[in-house]
Protein backbone atom coordinates (compact mmCIF):
# COMPACT_ATOMS: atom_id res chain seq x y z
CA UNK A 1 0.00 0.00 0.00
CA UNK A 2 1.44 3.34 -1.08
CA UNK A 3 2.17 5.91 1.57
CA UNK A 4 -0.04 8.98 1.69
CA UNK A 5 2.15 12.10 1.47
CA UNK A 6 0.71 15.58 1.00
CA UNK A 7 2.23 18.99 0.48
CA UNK A 8 1.13 21.85 2.71
CA UNK A 9 1.73 24.98 0.68
CA UNK A 10 1.47 28.75 0.98
CA UNK A 11 -2.26 29.31 0.33
CA UNK A 12 -3.68 31.95 -2.00
CA UNK A 13 -5.85 34.06 0.32
CA UNK A 14 -6.89 36.66 -2.24
CA UNK A 15 -6.86 37.29 -5.96
CA UNK A 16 -4.03 39.81 -5.64
CA UNK A 17 -1.93 37.74 -3.23
CA UNK A 18 1.41 36.65 -4.67
CA UNK A 19 3.33 35.89 -1.48
CA UNK A 20 2.93 35.45 2.26
CA UNK A 21 4.85 34.29 5.29
CA UNK A 22 4.37 31.98 8.24
CA UNK A 23 3.93 34.36 11.16
CA UNK A 24 3.70 31.54 13.71
CA UNK A 25 3.73 27.75 13.63
CA UNK A 26 1.18 26.03 15.88
CA UNK A 27 2.69 22.58 15.29
CA UNK A 28 6.13 21.02 15.35
CA UNK A 29 7.68 18.26 13.27
CA UNK A 30 6.32 14.94 14.48
CA UNK A 31 2.97 16.35 15.62
CA UNK A 32 -0.22 14.51 14.67
CA UNK A 33 -3.00 16.65 13.18
CA UNK A 34 -6.63 16.07 12.27
CA UNK A 35 -8.77 17.84 9.65
CA UNK A 36 -9.55 21.35 10.86
CA UNK A 37 -6.55 21.65 13.20
CA UNK A 38 -4.79 25.01 12.95
CA UNK A 39 -1.29 24.46 11.62
CA UNK A 40 0.04 28.01 11.33
CA UNK A 41 -0.79 31.70 11.11
CA UNK A 42 -0.24 33.01 7.57
CA UNK A 43 0.48 36.72 7.22
CA UNK A 44 0.07 38.61 3.95
CA UNK A 45 0.54 42.26 3.16
CA UNK A 46 -3.02 42.90 4.35
CA UNK A 47 -4.29 40.20 6.69
CA UNK A 48 -3.34 37.34 8.99
CA UNK A 49 -5.27 34.10 8.53
CA UNK A 50 -5.19 30.66 10.09
CA UNK A 51 -4.01 27.72 7.99
CA UNK A 52 -6.00 24.56 8.73
CA UNK A 53 -5.25 20.94 7.93
CA UNK A 54 -7.60 19.32 5.46
CA UNK A 55 -6.43 15.78 6.13
CA UNK A 56 -5.12 13.71 8.98
CA UNK A 57 -1.51 12.70 9.39
CA UNK A 58 1.83 13.55 10.94
CA UNK A 59 3.89 16.67 10.24
CA UNK A 60 7.07 15.27 8.73
CA UNK A 61 10.39 16.78 7.73
CA UNK A 62 11.34 20.38 8.45
CA UNK A 63 9.12 23.47 8.68
CA UNK A 64 9.91 26.65 6.77
CA UNK A 65 11.30 29.47 8.84
CA UNK A 66 8.87 31.95 10.39
CA UNK A 67 8.91 35.51 9.07
CA UNK A 68 10.22 34.68 5.57
CA UNK A 69 8.22 35.85 2.54
CA UNK A 70 7.41 32.98 0.18
CA UNK A 71 5.52 32.88 -3.14
CA UNK A 72 2.03 31.42 -3.22
CA UNK A 73 2.27 27.65 -3.73
CA UNK A 74 5.62 27.25 -1.97
CA UNK A 75 6.11 24.17 0.20
CA UNK A 76 5.67 24.94 3.91
CA UNK A 77 5.87 21.40 5.31
CA UNK A 78 4.85 17.83 4.55
CA UNK A 79 1.88 15.90 5.94
CA UNK A 80 2.23 12.11 5.75
CA UNK A 81 0.93 8.98 7.40
CA UNK A 82 3.08 7.04 9.83
CA UNK A 83 3.79 4.38 7.21
CA UNK A 84 5.82 6.80 5.10
CA UNK A 85 9.55 6.37 5.49
CA UNK A 86 11.96 9.25 6.02
CA UNK A 87 13.44 8.51 2.58
CA UNK A 88 9.99 8.83 0.95
CA UNK A 89 9.30 12.13 2.74
CA UNK A 90 12.71 13.54 1.81
CA UNK A 91 12.30 12.46 -1.82
CA UNK A 92 8.84 14.05 -1.95
CA UNK A 93 10.12 17.36 -0.56
CA UNK A 94 13.16 17.36 -2.85
CA UNK A 95 11.03 16.76 -5.95
CA UNK A 96 8.43 19.37 -5.01
CA UNK A 97 8.25 22.44 -7.27
CA UNK A 98 6.53 25.74 -6.39
CA UNK A 99 3.01 25.71 -7.71
CA UNK A 100 1.37 28.23 -10.00
CA UNK A 101 -0.58 30.49 -7.65
CA UNK A 102 -2.96 31.59 -10.43
CA UNK A 103 -4.29 28.04 -10.77
CA UNK A 104 -5.08 27.72 -7.07
CA UNK A 105 -8.57 28.55 -5.87
CA UNK A 106 -8.74 31.54 -3.56
CA UNK A 107 -9.57 30.45 -0.03
CA UNK A 108 -13.08 31.71 0.58
CA UNK A 109 -13.49 30.70 4.21
CA UNK A 110 -11.95 32.33 7.31
CA UNK A 111 -9.26 29.66 7.61
CA UNK A 112 -6.52 29.22 5.05
CA UNK A 113 -6.17 26.33 2.65
CA UNK A 114 -4.04 23.19 2.82
CA UNK A 115 -3.62 21.53 -0.55
CA UNK A 116 -2.70 17.88 -1.05
CA UNK A 117 -0.40 17.13 -3.95
CA UNK A 118 -3.05 15.02 -5.68
CA UNK A 119 -5.71 17.74 -5.38
CA UNK A 120 -3.45 20.40 -6.85
CA UNK A 121 -2.32 18.10 -9.64
CA UNK A 122 -5.99 17.45 -10.47
CA UNK A 123 -6.71 21.18 -10.52
CA UNK A 124 -3.79 21.80 -12.87
CA UNK A 125 -4.82 18.89 -15.08
CA UNK A 126 -8.39 20.19 -15.20
CA UNK A 127 -7.21 23.63 -16.28
CA UNK A 128 -5.21 22.13 -19.14
CA UNK A 129 -8.10 20.21 -20.67
CA UNK A 130 -9.00 22.35 -23.65
CA UNK A 131 -11.89 21.54 -25.92
CA UNK A 132 -12.58 18.15 -24.37
CA UNK A 133 -16.14 18.84 -23.28
CA UNK A 134 -18.26 16.59 -25.41
CA UNK A 135 -21.56 17.83 -26.77
CA UNK A 136 -24.25 17.47 -24.16
CA UNK A 137 -21.75 17.14 -21.27
CA UNK A 138 -23.11 20.39 -19.84
CA UNK A 139 -26.94 20.45 -19.66
CA UNK A 140 -28.64 23.26 -21.57
CA UNK A 141 -30.22 24.43 -18.31
CA UNK A 142 -26.79 25.58 -17.11
CA UNK A 143 -25.86 27.37 -20.32
CA UNK A 144 -26.94 30.81 -21.50
CA UNK A 145 -25.80 33.89 -23.34
CA UNK A 146 -26.53 36.46 -20.62
CA UNK A 147 -23.60 38.26 -19.01
CA UNK A 148 -22.37 36.55 -15.83
CA UNK A 149 -19.42 38.87 -15.15
CA UNK A 150 -20.99 40.10 -11.89
CA UNK A 151 -21.63 36.59 -10.51
CA UNK A 152 -19.42 36.02 -7.42
CA UNK A 153 -16.97 33.23 -8.23
CA UNK A 154 -13.41 32.14 -7.55
CA UNK A 155 -10.79 32.62 -10.23
CA UNK A 156 -10.58 28.89 -10.93
CA UNK A 157 -14.38 28.52 -11.07
CA UNK A 158 -14.67 31.33 -13.61
CA UNK A 159 -12.00 29.73 -15.82
CA UNK A 160 -13.76 26.36 -15.65
CA UNK A 161 -17.13 27.94 -16.48
CA UNK A 162 -15.68 29.66 -19.55
CA UNK A 163 -14.11 26.41 -20.74
CA UNK A 164 -17.30 24.36 -20.32
CA UNK A 165 -19.76 27.04 -21.45
CA UNK A 166 -21.49 27.25 -18.06
CA UNK A 167 -23.31 30.47 -17.18
CA UNK A 168 -22.40 31.37 -13.60
CA UNK A 169 -25.76 33.08 -13.04
CA UNK A 170 -27.29 29.58 -13.01
CA UNK A 171 -24.96 28.15 -10.37
CA UNK A 172 -25.67 28.30 -6.63
CA UNK A 173 -22.52 29.18 -4.72
CA UNK A 174 -21.73 27.47 -1.43
CA UNK A 175 -19.02 29.91 -0.35
CA UNK A 176 -19.27 33.03 1.74
CA UNK A 177 -21.82 35.48 0.31
CA UNK A 178 -22.78 32.92 -2.31
CA UNK A 179 -19.35 32.71 -3.88
CA UNK A 180 -19.15 29.97 -6.53
CA UNK A 181 -16.30 27.44 -6.41
CA UNK A 182 -15.06 24.93 -8.97
CA UNK A 183 -16.74 22.20 -6.94
CA UNK A 184 -20.11 24.02 -7.11
CA UNK A 185 -19.94 23.95 -10.92
CA UNK A 186 -19.05 20.26 -11.02
CA UNK A 187 -21.85 19.34 -8.60
CA UNK A 188 -24.40 21.45 -10.51
CA UNK A 189 -23.51 19.70 -13.78
CA UNK A 190 -23.88 16.27 -12.21
CA UNK A 191 -27.13 17.21 -10.45
CA UNK A 192 -28.61 18.42 -13.75
CA UNK A 193 -27.89 15.09 -15.40
CA UNK A 194 -24.71 16.11 -17.16
CA UNK A 195 -21.22 14.70 -16.95
CA UNK A 196 -17.82 16.21 -16.39
CA UNK A 197 -15.54 15.78 -19.42
CA UNK A 198 -13.00 13.02 -19.01
CA UNK A 199 -9.32 13.88 -18.85
CA UNK A 200 -7.21 13.01 -21.88
CA UNK A 201 -4.73 11.33 -19.59
CA UNK A 202 -5.12 9.61 -16.26
CA UNK A 203 -1.58 10.51 -15.30
CA UNK A 204 -1.13 13.30 -12.76
CA UNK A 205 -0.03 16.65 -14.11
CA UNK A 206 3.73 16.94 -14.46
CA UNK A 207 5.18 19.15 -11.72
CA UNK A 208 6.41 22.46 -13.00
CA UNK A 209 10.10 23.05 -13.16
CA UNK A 210 11.61 25.08 -10.37
CA UNK A 211 11.73 28.22 -12.48
CA UNK A 212 9.39 30.96 -13.70
CA UNK A 213 8.50 29.60 -17.12
CA UNK A 214 4.90 29.11 -16.01
CA UNK A 215 4.51 32.83 -15.22
CA UNK A 216 2.65 34.61 -18.07
CA UNK A 217 4.90 37.41 -19.37
CA UNK A 218 5.79 39.32 -22.52
CA UNK A 219 8.93 38.14 -24.34
CA UNK A 220 10.72 41.41 -23.56
CA UNK A 221 9.78 41.17 -19.87
CA UNK A 222 11.15 37.64 -19.75
CA UNK A 223 14.41 38.72 -21.39
CA UNK A 224 14.95 41.67 -19.03
CA UNK A 225 14.16 39.48 -16.00
CA UNK A 226 16.63 36.82 -17.15
CA UNK A 227 19.38 39.40 -17.63
CA UNK A 228 18.79 40.78 -14.13
CA UNK A 229 18.48 37.36 -12.51
CA UNK A 230 14.93 38.16 -11.38
CA UNK A 231 12.28 35.46 -10.95
CA UNK A 232 9.10 36.61 -12.70
CA UNK A 233 7.07 35.52 -9.67
CA UNK A 234 8.53 38.55 -7.86
CA UNK A 235 6.93 40.97 -10.34
CA UNK A 236 3.35 42.22 -9.98
CA UNK A 237 1.61 41.77 -13.36
CA UNK A 238 -0.31 44.73 -14.82
CA UNK A 239 -0.64 43.56 -18.41
CA UNK A 240 -3.65 42.01 -20.07
CA UNK A 241 -4.72 38.60 -18.76
CA UNK A 242 -2.32 38.93 -15.86
CA UNK A 243 0.85 39.07 -17.95
CA UNK A 244 4.05 40.55 -16.57
CA UNK A 245 5.30 43.47 -18.66
CA UNK A 246 8.76 45.00 -19.01
CA UNK A 247 7.68 47.87 -16.74
CA UNK A 248 6.58 45.35 -14.09
CA UNK A 249 10.00 43.68 -14.22
CA UNK A 250 11.86 46.99 -13.93
CA UNK A 251 9.77 47.96 -10.89
CA UNK A 252 10.43 44.60 -9.27
CA UNK A 253 14.17 44.97 -9.91
CA UNK A 254 14.15 48.42 -8.32
CA UNK A 255 12.17 47.13 -5.32
CA UNK A 256 14.56 44.19 -4.96
CA UNK A 257 17.58 46.48 -4.97
CA UNK A 258 15.91 48.66 -2.34
CA UNK A 259 15.07 45.65 -0.13
CA UNK A 260 18.62 44.33 -0.40
CA UNK A 261 19.97 47.51 1.12
CA UNK A 262 17.60 47.35 4.12
CA UNK A 263 18.62 45.98 7.53
CA UNK A 264 17.15 42.52 8.18
CA UNK A 265 16.03 43.39 11.70
CA UNK A 266 15.54 46.34 14.00
CA UNK A 267 18.83 47.70 15.30
CA UNK A 268 18.23 49.54 18.58
CA UNK A 269 20.55 52.35 19.47
CA UNK A 270 22.18 52.46 16.03
CA UNK A 271 24.22 55.52 15.17
CA UNK A 272 22.90 57.92 12.54
CA UNK A 273 25.10 59.85 10.13
CA UNK A 274 25.38 62.61 12.72
CA UNK A 275 26.37 60.15 15.43
CA UNK A 276 23.04 60.53 17.27
CA UNK A 277 21.51 57.32 18.69
CA UNK A 278 18.47 56.07 16.77
CA UNK A 279 16.47 52.93 16.15
CA UNK A 280 16.30 51.34 12.70
CA UNK A 281 13.03 49.51 12.02
CA UNK A 282 12.50 47.52 8.81
CA UNK A 283 9.23 47.84 6.93
CA UNK A 284 6.56 45.26 7.60
CA UNK A 285 5.15 43.22 4.74
CA UNK A 286 2.11 45.48 4.68
CA UNK A 287 4.21 48.65 4.63
CA UNK A 288 6.36 47.34 1.79
CA UNK A 289 3.28 46.51 -0.26
CA UNK A 290 1.70 49.91 0.39
CA UNK A 291 4.94 51.68 -0.52
CA UNK A 292 5.30 49.71 -3.75
CA UNK A 293 1.67 50.03 -4.86
CA UNK A 294 1.41 53.75 -4.18
CA UNK A 295 4.78 54.47 -5.79
CA UNK A 296 3.65 52.59 -8.87
CA UNK A 297 0.33 54.46 -8.87
CA UNK A 298 2.04 57.83 -8.59
CA UNK A 299 4.47 56.99 -11.40
CA UNK A 300 2.07 55.29 -13.80
CA UNK A 301 -1.15 57.25 -13.30
CA UNK A 302 -1.15 60.95 -14.26
CA UNK A 303 -3.09 62.35 -11.31
CA UNK A 304 -5.22 65.45 -11.62
CA UNK A 305 -7.37 66.90 -8.84
CA UNK A 306 -10.67 68.68 -8.49
CA UNK A 307 -11.92 70.33 -5.31
CA UNK A 308 -15.38 71.26 -4.11
CA UNK A 309 -16.83 72.63 -0.87
CA UNK A 310 -20.10 71.33 0.52
CA UNK A 311 -22.45 72.73 3.16
CA UNK A 312 -22.76 69.98 5.77
CA UNK A 313 -25.44 71.52 8.02
CA UNK A 314 -28.22 69.26 6.75
CA UNK A 315 -26.05 66.14 6.88
CA UNK A 316 -25.12 66.88 10.49
CA UNK A 317 -28.81 67.35 11.25
CA UNK A 318 -29.65 64.03 9.56
CA UNK A 319 -26.96 62.27 11.55
CA UNK A 320 -28.46 63.59 14.79
CA UNK A 321 -31.93 62.40 13.73
CA UNK A 322 -30.67 58.93 12.87
CA UNK A 323 -28.85 58.62 16.19
CA UNK A 324 -32.22 58.45 17.95
CA UNK A 325 -33.40 55.56 15.76
CA UNK A 326 -30.38 53.26 16.19
CA UNK A 327 -30.29 50.84 19.11
CA UNK A 328 -26.60 49.95 18.83
CA UNK A 329 -24.16 52.78 18.18
CA UNK A 330 -24.55 55.87 16.09
CA UNK A 331 -24.37 56.67 12.42
CA UNK A 332 -21.16 58.54 11.64
CA UNK A 333 -20.60 61.27 9.09
CA UNK A 334 -18.32 58.81 7.32
CA UNK A 335 -21.21 56.34 6.96
CA UNK A 336 -23.30 59.05 5.31
CA UNK A 337 -20.39 60.03 3.08
CA UNK A 338 -20.03 56.41 1.90
CA UNK A 339 -23.68 56.43 0.87
CA UNK A 340 -23.27 59.85 -0.77
CA UNK A 341 -20.25 58.59 -2.74
CA UNK A 342 -22.19 55.52 -3.89
CA UNK A 343 -25.09 57.70 -5.01
CA UNK A 344 -22.73 60.02 -6.92
CA UNK A 345 -21.03 57.07 -8.63
CA UNK A 346 -24.39 55.94 -9.98
CA UNK A 347 -24.84 59.40 -11.53
CA UNK A 348 -21.25 59.52 -12.83
CA UNK A 349 -20.55 55.90 -13.93
CA UNK A 350 -17.41 56.94 -15.84
CA UNK A 351 -15.70 57.26 -12.44
CA UNK A 352 -16.94 53.90 -11.10
CA UNK A 353 -14.26 51.84 -12.85
CA UNK A 354 -11.08 49.82 -12.55
CA UNK A 355 -8.15 50.14 -14.95
CA UNK A 356 -5.22 47.72 -15.32
CA UNK A 357 -3.21 49.83 -17.74
CA UNK A 358 -4.85 48.43 -20.85
CA UNK A 359 -8.49 47.56 -20.11
CA UNK A 360 -11.25 49.58 -18.42
CA UNK A 361 -13.72 47.60 -16.32
CA UNK A 362 -17.03 49.40 -15.80
CA UNK A 363 -19.24 48.31 -12.90
CA UNK A 364 -23.00 48.52 -12.50
CA UNK A 365 -22.75 48.66 -8.70
CA UNK A 366 -20.69 50.93 -6.44
CA UNK A 367 -18.16 49.00 -4.35
CA UNK A 368 -16.82 51.72 -2.06
CA UNK A 369 -13.47 51.13 -0.33
CA UNK A 370 -12.92 53.10 2.87
CA UNK A 371 -9.41 53.88 4.12
CA UNK A 372 -8.84 52.64 7.69
CA UNK A 373 -5.65 53.65 9.50
CA UNK A 374 -3.81 50.85 11.32
CA UNK A 375 -0.77 50.96 13.56
CA UNK A 376 1.56 49.74 10.81
CA UNK A 377 -0.20 50.77 7.63
CA UNK A 378 -3.50 51.27 5.91
CA UNK A 379 -6.31 48.94 4.84
CA UNK A 380 -9.30 49.69 2.63
CA UNK A 381 -12.23 47.39 3.50
CA UNK A 382 -14.93 47.50 0.85
CA UNK A 383 -18.66 48.13 1.25
CA UNK A 384 -19.92 45.98 -1.60
CA UNK A 385 -22.99 47.26 -3.50
CA UNK A 386 -23.08 50.38 -1.32
CA UNK A 387 -25.60 52.00 -3.67
CA UNK A 388 -28.10 49.25 -2.82
CA UNK A 389 -27.69 49.44 0.97
CA UNK A 390 -29.34 51.73 3.47
CA UNK A 391 -27.35 54.11 5.64
CA UNK A 392 -28.09 51.88 8.64
CA UNK A 393 -26.75 48.80 6.82
CA UNK A 394 -23.62 50.67 5.77
CA UNK A 395 -23.07 51.88 9.33
CA UNK A 396 -23.32 48.38 10.83
CA UNK A 397 -21.13 46.82 8.12
CA UNK A 398 -18.52 49.58 8.38
CA UNK A 399 -18.19 49.05 12.15
CA UNK A 400 -17.70 45.30 11.66
CA UNK A 401 -15.16 45.75 8.85
CA UNK A 402 -13.19 48.37 10.77
CA UNK A 403 -13.00 46.13 13.85
CA UNK A 404 -11.80 43.17 11.78
CA UNK A 405 -9.30 45.33 9.89
CA UNK A 406 -7.70 46.51 13.11
CA UNK A 407 -7.55 42.98 14.49
CA UNK A 408 -6.06 41.60 11.25
CA UNK A 409 -9.07 39.35 10.64
CA UNK A 410 -10.34 40.72 7.33
CA UNK A 411 -11.10 38.14 4.66
CA UNK A 412 -9.82 38.69 1.10
CA UNK A 413 -13.25 39.41 -0.35
CA UNK A 414 -13.71 42.15 2.25
CA UNK A 415 -10.82 44.32 1.03
CA UNK A 416 -10.64 43.44 -2.68
CA UNK A 417 -12.82 44.50 -5.59
CA UNK A 418 -13.35 48.16 -4.73
CA UNK A 419 -14.25 50.50 -7.58
CA UNK A 420 -13.62 53.77 -5.70
CA UNK A 421 -12.00 54.83 -2.41
CA UNK A 422 -13.09 57.31 0.25
CA UNK A 423 -10.35 58.67 2.53
CA UNK A 424 -11.44 60.82 5.47
CA UNK A 425 -8.91 62.64 7.70
CA UNK A 426 -11.45 65.04 9.16
CA UNK A 427 -11.26 63.36 12.58
CA UNK A 428 -7.63 64.53 12.77
CA UNK A 429 -8.55 68.14 12.09
CA UNK A 430 -7.12 68.09 8.54
CA UNK A 431 -8.87 70.75 6.47
CA UNK A 432 -7.99 69.42 3.00
CA UNK A 433 -5.51 67.03 1.40
CA UNK A 434 -4.67 65.15 -1.80
CA UNK A 435 -4.87 61.35 -1.89
CA UNK A 436 -3.02 58.90 -4.15
CA UNK A 437 -5.21 56.60 -6.25
CA UNK A 438 -5.44 53.00 -5.05
CA UNK A 439 -4.91 50.79 -8.16
CA UNK A 440 -6.64 49.25 -10.02
CA UNK A 441 -9.18 51.94 -9.14
CA UNK A 442 -9.04 55.17 -11.11
CA UNK A 443 -10.21 57.73 -8.55
CA UNK A 444 -10.20 58.51 -4.82
CA UNK A 445 -12.03 61.16 -2.78
CA UNK A 446 -10.21 62.90 0.10
CA UNK A 447 -12.43 64.69 2.61
CA UNK A 448 -11.32 66.96 5.44
CA UNK A 449 -12.78 68.30 8.66
CA UNK A 450 -15.93 70.40 8.83
CA UNK A 451 -15.54 73.98 10.00
CA UNK A 452 -17.86 76.87 10.71
CA UNK A 453 -17.40 79.53 8.08
CA UNK A 454 -19.07 82.73 6.86
CA UNK A 455 -20.59 82.24 3.40
CA UNK A 456 -22.65 84.29 0.98
CA UNK A 457 -26.18 83.03 0.34
CA UNK A 458 -29.21 84.30 -1.54
CA UNK A 459 -30.52 85.80 1.70
CA UNK A 460 -27.21 87.45 2.55
CA UNK A 461 -24.15 86.48 4.53
CA UNK A 462 -24.51 83.70 7.12
CA UNK A 463 -22.53 81.03 8.98
CA UNK A 464 -22.48 77.44 7.72
CA UNK A 465 -20.60 74.21 8.41
CA UNK A 466 -18.42 73.57 5.35
CA UNK A 467 -16.34 70.59 4.25
CA UNK A 468 -13.63 70.45 1.56
CA UNK A 469 -13.53 67.38 -0.71
CA UNK A 470 -10.75 66.74 -3.24
CA UNK A 471 -11.09 64.17 -6.02
CA UNK A 472 -7.93 62.62 -7.48
CA UNK A 473 -8.42 61.04 -10.92
CA UNK A 474 -6.33 58.98 -13.32
CA UNK A 475 -6.26 61.19 -16.42
CA UNK A 476 -5.64 58.19 -18.67
CA UNK A 477 -9.25 57.06 -18.25
CA UNK A 478 -11.13 59.86 -16.46
CA UNK A 479 -11.26 63.34 -17.93
CA UNK A 480 -12.04 66.60 -16.20
CA UNK A 481 -15.70 66.66 -17.21
CA UNK A 482 -16.32 63.17 -15.79
CA UNK A 483 -14.62 64.10 -12.52
CA UNK A 484 -16.60 67.34 -12.34
CA UNK A 485 -19.89 65.47 -12.86
CA UNK A 486 -19.04 63.17 -9.97
CA UNK A 487 -18.20 66.07 -7.63
CA UNK A 488 -21.31 67.92 -8.70
CA UNK A 489 -23.44 64.88 -7.86
CA UNK A 490 -21.57 64.34 -4.58
CA UNK A 491 -22.05 67.96 -3.48
CA UNK A 492 -25.74 67.83 -4.37
CA UNK A 493 -26.44 64.74 -2.27
CA UNK A 494 -24.16 65.89 0.57
CA UNK A 495 -26.13 69.13 0.84
CA UNK A 496 -29.51 67.35 0.48
CA UNK A 497 -28.78 64.12 2.39
CA UNK A 498 -32.39 63.22 3.22
CA UNK A 499 -32.63 61.99 -0.36
CA UNK A 500 -30.33 59.14 0.70
CA UNK A 501 -33.19 57.70 2.76
CA UNK A 502 -35.58 57.48 -0.19
Contact 41, 23 (CB under 8 A): yes
From residue 470, alpha-carbon distances to 133, 338, 441 in Å are: 52, 15, 16
Rounded Cα distance, 325 and 392, in Å: 10
Q: Which one-letter DSSP state was computed for residue 327?
A: S
Q: 421 - beta bridge partners?
A: 369, 444
Question: What residues have CB less than 8 Å from 381, skipping those under 6 apart?
Answer: 369, 370, 372, 398, 401, 402, 404, 405, 410, 414, 415
Rounded Cα distance, 368 and 166, in Å: 30
Helices assigned H by DSSP within 165-203 = 182-191
Rounded Cα distance, 352 and 366, in Å: 7
Which residue of the set 26, 155, 324, 475 is catalytic? 475
Contact 52, 5 (CB under 8 A): no
From residue 218, alpha-carbon distances to 170, 223, 224, 245, 287 in Å are: 36, 9, 10, 6, 29
From residue 295, alpha-carbon distances to 100, 221, 232 in Å are: 27, 20, 20
Number of C-beta neighbours around residue 183 at 10 A = 15
Whether 475 is catalytic is yes
Rounded Cα distance, 179 and 172, in Å: 8
What residues are labeled active site?
A: 475
Amino acid sequence: MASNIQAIVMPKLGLSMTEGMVAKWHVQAGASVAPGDVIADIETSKITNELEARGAGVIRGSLVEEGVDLPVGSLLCVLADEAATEQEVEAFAAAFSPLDGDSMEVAGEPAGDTHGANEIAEAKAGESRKGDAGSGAVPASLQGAEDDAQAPATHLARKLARRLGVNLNKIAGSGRRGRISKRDIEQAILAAGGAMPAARSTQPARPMAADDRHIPATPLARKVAAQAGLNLAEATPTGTRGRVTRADVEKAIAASNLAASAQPAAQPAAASASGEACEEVPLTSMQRTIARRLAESKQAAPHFRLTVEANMDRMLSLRADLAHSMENGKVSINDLLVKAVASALMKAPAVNIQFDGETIRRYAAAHVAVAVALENGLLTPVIQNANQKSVMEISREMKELTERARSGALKPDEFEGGTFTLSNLGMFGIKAFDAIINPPQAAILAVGATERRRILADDGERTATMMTATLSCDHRVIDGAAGARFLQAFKEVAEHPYRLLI
